[in-house]
Structure 1
């Protein structure tokens, strides 16, 4: 449906060149909820503006439904842009117009009759849950309600794809969940493809089926949501996931505990991540029966990614070194990712070292 090929965006300021996006290639399929995640300055917002050519790339191609947007005339590009809706972090509503008028404005230059426009606006407000707010002005709305108006306006021309640039960043956690649930519902009901730009992996985790991670203008990793969470390859991706699963905060608390601050020869601190069928297996109990390795669970979390269970545990493995090694090898055979969070010798500092996978 949408393909970005070798996209470069270079800004020139006096004698300085700033490469905001460097050789990025992405394929977004019809019906995807595609997340592009990265910290501020990663280039993700610049990249999403390339999709509808609000930002023309310095190099590369933008192929939308088989057409290279860069080769279109201004008139042809205007027609294609109608198929690409966009919502922003700060809503961009017209404060002097009512909710109804904000949505209706997008239909001003269409061929629809006044009656048809009225029916469509009311249907869109019903869709986003704002039927009772049509005569209200934006200043009288909450942040979540303003974003719902922006979503209704973006849907007015029946877009094939909806670009969401940090659409939940200005919202509180509860409202964020409500807006994400609405976007997921629109994706399922209308079949609209969604590209979601965010700096929060927690947001990606909620509704995306595919993910690209950006750093310094480049896509450093991309895959399905499940693959990204279960087999992250890059350090930044792992950092995002640990934040989204709250593992980093749990580990910080654990390492501050006096009894865990100093390792001994018989124990080590380990993080276990498991997906799918492994989540329902009694693996922890089997470590003692098979290898005489005791397991003390310090933190545990399980959630569902695309209806697939994904779990994280922080545990202390205690037993003879050779037996612990056998236990870790067994876990890897069961498709559990094992990360050693601390060496088992007192002379070495606490550290993160991934040793597992499968």
Structure 2
């Protein structure tokens, strides 16, 4: 790629990537869909890799869910090669139904492929989520009513071995689009991103613009800031819950009773998820399970998603599957 002066948006993107890196980061692997966010990320990584003499690579995931998806993946790979990536891989995945919905199923297949690509290269996987994506995630978490953790949004680092890195969480989507314009990069617009059948699209197209109009500008930035604060609080509560967790298959009610309510509910959630793999818990589920401890009057138990039931026996909580 011919050298040219960095435009202001490109410079902001480069700085965002540089400031997010740790000394332990080696190979930088960009997940690129061909959209403006991931193309802007790829452009920034080219500069950062050269400045820091770090190896760079890119991976494009073809979900096979749309006509000509293979052609678009190949076109994106070609663009990445033109940008300066010598190591570009297209990975085709099979999206299997899990009952969680097509968006969640595609995300599961995508991350599995991306994590495998990162592990193969011992690389840090860079994702192009922006401040706008973070704001949308916080609003969706608020709608679920699942507590502080759901408001924490996406972490800067996450995933297996904390390999996933999101450098653009403080940058608005308008900046990534401007990066593409500054570098003559033509992005692809996924039609799923404008389909109102998806809750995230309705948040993006209707909810956030309405909030901006009625409450004033800066809503996305405020929501992203809320995510940072909520994550700090959630991390502290999780750490305290881990200390209080006896690590047993059943949980003594007196252990929960001796904790402040916020910490007690966090311990219950940890016990249900880690000890028993209970999926998709919301605040209503936790309040109902908590009542088995704090408002016990002989309830039969609490039914949870996945065909699970929590019941109280001899002062202890246990998880059972009534259909077995």
**TM-score for the superposition, normalised by structure 1:** 0.31
Which structure has more helix as a fraction of its residues? 2
Which has the higher Rg, Structure 1 or Structure 2? 1
**TM-score for the superposition, normalised by structure 2:** 0.34
